[in-house]
Structure 1
Amino acid sequence: MPRPQRRTRTASRTAIAARLAAACLGIGTLATLAACGGSGSSGASLPFLPVVPPPSTPGTSSALACDESLKTAFKPDANTTVTVVKQFKQGDDLNLDGKASGTVAASDVCMVKLNVGPGHAGPADAPSTSPGIGIEVWLPAAAKWNNRLRVLGGGGFVGDAGISSRTQIGGAGAAAIAAGQGSVSAVTDAGHASKLPVPAVDGSFAMNPDGTVNTTLWTDFASRGIHEMAVKAKALASGFYQRDAQYAYWDGCSTGGRQGHMQAQVNPGDFDGILAGNSAINWTTFITSELYPQIVMQRDLGGTPLAAEQLALVSSAAVSACDSTLTGQHEGFISDPAACKYDPVQDKAVLCIGSGGTNATAACLSTVQAQAVNKIWYGQTRDGSAPAPASDIGYGATLAPGQLWYGLTRGTSLNSPGAPGFSLADSTAGTPHPFPIAAHQVALNLQDPTIATPDFVNATGNGANNWKGLSYAQLANASDRGKALQSAFAGINADNPDLARFRDRGAKLLTYHGLADQLIASSGTANYYERVAKTMGGIEATQKFYRYLEIPAMGHCVGVGSVNGLAGVSPAANPPLPAPDQLFSALTDWVEKGIAPDNLVLQNADKSLARPLCTYPKKVAYTGGDVKAAASFACR
């Protein structure tokens, strides 16, 4: 992910939200979907299954056709309605309104849009009103089908209006998989369609007009929407090709990762393999904690955000302090965040002269500001405290006493527009802009819409930025309330460690997390994995069906999340990262061939550096030799 330039005072919050959603939430264009993990954030071309022609079945019902007849021919249940059917031929532009999208079908493909009720009744314009779950399914030509189903996860609060629209296409990534790879694919709006320019940041659907929790739409968002997508996509495939899919896969990152874990926990029969990246499990806890950096700056810094230059300097200093711990040479990125105990309070080169430092630039930090950064790195606590980094950096699978949730790792970019607490659209004026999803979720936890940003809409009152007045204790209470409301929130946290039903049917779950994720602290995934291992008989037993891969310096779902180190000290960050579909191919090999993902090797962008990708809890270790060769490292 390229580091953003400092924004001007005229930059709008809507523009920031749009950039965030496109860059980090896996929605929007085909290119974005392919990059952000919504359509798979891993590697090379897929090993296709041999194409098997449809069996000859005289006397049985005929195959479903890609035309208007489908609207009456496909009726799997009383709640399901076919709303749009469209056949695209190879080379056709993928649009429904006659306006060229610039994306063409790689081969013949059929698009089917569904609505699955009953939805949620209410005032016509209320965000909490929904006609049902919107699902968009893409089916390749019969001769091209590889006997796989590969459906895609969403991002943020999902709510993409294009999926349920009769004039727009919402699943360009799914279309690419169907037309280019031969798998049946699908996407869902998870039961609601936002009217905001960036629907994924809108949590308004989850509150009824009277201010109460909209449990119906929470259920659709948490689990029912993704289950219905799996069931209906399978049924359409069976009807079109007159045979069932041989393998069914889930592929998602961020919210898509949470959705994948939810499927393994609640609907374990839906998928043979699940690829879940940078997962938004522990939903109410970690999203509440995403507001914590802003609360730190409100309470400790008088509401004035740290400037982009300050955030870049302190993060760069952390990289240069910790990027040589693996090989003894500065590498430009941190391989093991657990070994980085960099403390800006003790770094004279970062501290301003007035705070006993030697830095006379505008990027310098006062001691109070440096300690605020330590608090943000440590993560949310009940009283806003944080220990000295030398004793505890708040990183790892186990929360420390008093630590409510984890912070981002040292060296991770903190000044990405829209990242938690650091939206610097108006940094000249020092205007704080929180990550909208975090402010919305805290408002939902406390059932008070005024706490949210003004784009939160509700009949009892819209968002009024009242989050600014929250104390540390009040934010902690919001976290507690989020856990207490799990029943009303339809178990949105997806943190049940009992995966026995998923394991017993022989399915596989492969999860990964970038260790420089700008939005979701990677320690949350390690925390969940350890809980699963404890429940499922230990690490070795768990790894037979569920494996976790930690990817140094990778950001949210894709790309480099780390900043460059100090100029003249560290080279530019160029870490090894998964190639497109590399991890998905590893999952299919595990499911279909029994080859566990043990010996994966990652390369960087220019293929000048290669490293083994270690399966948690192992970490990469340098064994000697060429530091750029994978053979010089081992997982221990």
Structure 2
Amino acid sequence: MKNTRTALPLSALALLALAGCGGDGDDLRLDLTAAEAQAVCADMVAKSGLPATTLTTRYVAAGTRRPGTATNGDFLGGHCVVTGSRDARTGVDGKPYAIGFELSLPDRWNGRFLYLGGGGNDGTLRDTSLSSSISIGTPSPLGQGYAVVSADAGHQGTSASFGADPQARIDHAYNAHDKTAQSAKALIEWRYGKAASYSYFSGCSGGGRQGMMFSQRFPSYFDGITAGAPAMRVSSGATVAAMWNNRKFNDIAPAGADGKPVLSQAFSNGDLNLVADAVLAACDAGDGVVDGMVQNARACQFDPAVLQCAGAKTDSCISAAQVGALKDVFGGPKTSAGQALYAGQPWDPGIRDSGWRAWTLGTSTTAAPNSRYITLMLDALRNEFFTPADPGFDALAFNFDTDPARMAAFSAVYDSYSDDRLAAYKARGGKLLLVHGMADPIFSAKDTADYYERLAANNGGIAATQGFARNFLVPGMAHCSGGPATDTYDSLQAMVDWVEKGVAPDTIAARASATNATFPNRTRPLCAYPKFAKYKGTGSIEDAASFSCEAS
């Protein structure tokens, strides 16, 4: 049964506490029966006292639901799902806006709070029964007793058209996350009668950017932040790269029946397999064993010209135009004067993964592309990253000399790459984990490594910086997950062990996902940058125990 009502002002919270309805030291509400927990869940609507907030609550009894849409595995314990809508208003574009969030509060709380980051253009609520998008396939934090919140970032719907409203831009950048964190912490304290002992953030892509934003704008909020594939330069660098890559691939794409380029056919799957195999031939053995993965990425040197056809294009080679496009794309976008606008991409056999194609080339068989560079990044560029917005902008018209300047104003509000000291977050004792897939086709792992190097330079070197911030690169992994990789690992538990036990993660245990046909049952250690997993010389190449973390 759902309960919906506008919450009382915060001044009511103290009165309710005095009445024995929360917050009193003798009434911690940590060990309630299911019936009592359900009653408190319903009471939250009228008694929790959040300002300008409408709440809806739903109690989920123990043993009635599994995480997400799972049809097998462990059931969740009893928990209260709180859906909130805060600061409702009408935008300058005449559309309704509000800061939406979902908070799940377990009956058997472990004293921890977890904020799940979003992604894309946001506008939806991540299921709080699931794990973080940078720990897919690991146990549900809610099932482990975490209080878990997610946010829609201040607008509803996945289109970037909200960029027409200035406040919606600010909400998306940081304000909605600030308000969500505050709301969640207040509700947690009301529900359990005390604040969380530890607070964590975990997210990937846009969620990674949100984590970095918290470390800089609100450094006191979280004890530990995990930022996967952090979109730190999305509105000033990665989107420029997306337009550059789209142009380079479109320029060599064969024409369809209407005479227009078909982007997806710039490279066939067979062509991408050739490139992946050639990368492996050049770099696979650099980690001590030929195992289909490039662990020692920093030492990898590859030139796609080795695949160039001597004559006509065949299935065993790629054309000169294709070689040129790959060099341009992996070299990164530049101005006409040769000034770099974003990091290039590392060479990795994950180029053959379907996730890499989905972002760069798509699968459309017509001249209307469906790559995520166009369906997602162009939408964000037109409506949010350009100031003012330019809803009709043509991706192929992007001017690499002049258009980046149109992105600078919003970058100053939205991007999170310029603070490479993190002084306040370090001073409060916060811990930071950066995690990035080497085959990520939108946010370059090179850019994250560059940020980490700058962070280290400003904090006494890598050894000193590892006391509060560590970087993990995942060979073969595409954007946040997928690819020929060991892409399943519990980064949240690694963070908890670091924050609560002082056990800094030199390695993170990783395995191939259950659906990985390339490396079934493979395990590997993920190594803290700049080390990589090197084969010891003996033992199964499928077993993490056969590898140790060594300097490149």
How high is the TM-score relative to the length of structure 1? Answer: 0.70
Verify: 1:156 aligned to 2:113, yes or no. Answer: no
Change (3 A) 1:588 1:404: closer
Alignment match of 1:137 (pick from 103, 127, 139):
103
3-state SS, counterpart of residue 406 of structure 2: helix
Contact 2:224 2:432 (C-alpha < 8 Å) held by counterparts: yes
Letter in 2 for 1:540: A
The CA deviation at 1:486 is 2.9
Going by fraction, where is strand more abundant, 1 or 2? 2
Q: How far apart in 2 are the matches of 1:178 and 1:586?
A: 13
One-letter amino acid of the structure 1 residue matched with residue 54 of structure 2: V
Q: Compute the displacement of 1:519 (Å).
A: 2.8
Instruction: Output the amino acid matched with 2:278.
Output: A
Aligned partner letter, 2:415 = I
**More RCO (CA 8 Å, sep 6+):** 1
- For 2:209 and 2:408, the matched residues in 1 are separated by 16
Structure 2 counterpart of 1:319, one-letter code:
V
Secondary structure at 2:102 match in 1:
strand
| SS across alignment from 1:338 | helix
Instruction: Please say if residues 499 and 536 of structure 1, whose CA atoms lie closer than 8 Å, have aligned partners that are also in contact.
Output: no
Tell whether the 8 Å contact from 1:381 to 1:405 is kept in structure 2 after alignment.
no
Report SS of the residue matched to 1:75. Answer: coil
Aligned to 1:353: 311
Match of 2:516? none
Query: Which structure 2 residues correspond to residues 522-561 of structure 1 after superposition, within 5 A?
Result: 522-560=445-483
Aligned mate of 1:326, from 286, 290, 294: 286
Does structure 2 retain, via aligned residues, the 8 Å contact 1:106–1:179? yes
Q: How does 1:14-25 map to 2 (within 5 A)?
A: none
Task: Tell whether the 8 Å contact from 2:295 to 2:532 is kept in structure 1 after alignment.
Answer: no
- 1:558 deviation in Å? 1.9
Report what 1:290 is aligned to: 242
Partner of 1:110: 80
2:549 corresponds to 1:624: no
Cα displacement string for residues 460-479 of structure 1 (whole angstroms, at most 9, x for unaligned residues): xx54x622233xxx034333
Q: Name the structure where helix makes up a greater proportion of residues.
A: 2
State the secondary structure of the residue aligned to 1:259.
helix
**Cα pair distance change 1:299/1:480, threshold 3 Å:** farther
Conserved? CA contact 1:278–1:522, under 8 Å? yes
> How far apart, CA to CA, are the structure 2 residues paired with 1:555 and 1:159?
23
Cα deviation, residue 301, structure 1: 5.2
Unpaired runs of at least 5, structure 2 = 1-21, 31-35, 133-138, 255-260, 514-518
Q: Deviation of residue 327 (structure 1)?
A: 4.7
Q: Which amino acid aligns with 1:297?
A: F
Taking the aligned partners of 1:241 and 1:621, their CA distance within structure 2 comes to 47
Asked if structure 2 preserves the Cα contact closer than 8 Å seen for 1:70 and 1:82, the reply is: no
Which SS does the other structure have where 1:475 is aligned? coil
Partner deviation per Cα, 1:26-85 (whole Å, 9 max, x = no partner): xxxxxxxxxxxxxxxxxxxxxxxxxxxx997459999995454423312233x3x13311
Q: Report the equivalent of 1:475.
A: 400
User: When the two structures are superposed, what TM-score results if normalisation uses the length of structure 2?
Assistant: 0.80
2:492 to 562, 584, 597: 584
Aligned residue identity for 1:287: T
Partner of 1:278: 229
- Aligned pair 1:249/2:223, yes or no? no
Alignment partner for residue 318 of structure 2, among 335, 360, 365? 365
Q: What is the aligned counterpart of 1:377 among 321, 330, 354? A: 330
Do the aligned residues in 2 keep the contact of 1:84 with 1:114 (CA within 8 Å)? yes
Q: Which of these residues, 591, 594, 600, is aligned with residue 502 of structure 2?
A: 594
Q: 463, 486, 499: which one pairs with 2:411?
A: 486
Structure 2: which amino acid aligns with 1:296?
K
Q: How does 1:408-423 map to 2 (within 5 A)?
A: 409-413=347-351, 416=355, 419-423=358-362
Cα distance in 2 for residues equivalent to 1:540 and 1:313 = 38
1:549 Cα offset (Å): 1.1
1:232 aligns to 2:183 (yes or no)? yes
Q: Pairwise CA RMSD of aligned residues?
A: 3.3
Moved more, 241-250 or 602-611: 602-611
Match of 1:204 in 2: 161
Residue 27 of structure 2 contacts residue 193 of structure 2 at CA under 8 Å; is this kept in 1? no
User: Judging changes above 3 Å, is the alpha-carbon distance between structure 1 residues 634 and 533 closer, same or farther for their aligned structure 2 residues?
Assistant: closer
Is the counterpart of residue 432 in structure 1 residue 432 in structure 2?
A: no
Distance 1:593 1:491 in 2: 34
1:341 aligns to 2:280 (yes or no):
no
Give 1:72's aligned residue: 46
2:188·2:196 contact (CA, 8 Å) conserved in 1?
yes
Contact 2:535 2:546 in 1 (8 A): no
Gaps of 5+ in 1: 1-53, 164-168, 209-213, 386-400, 451-461, 563-574
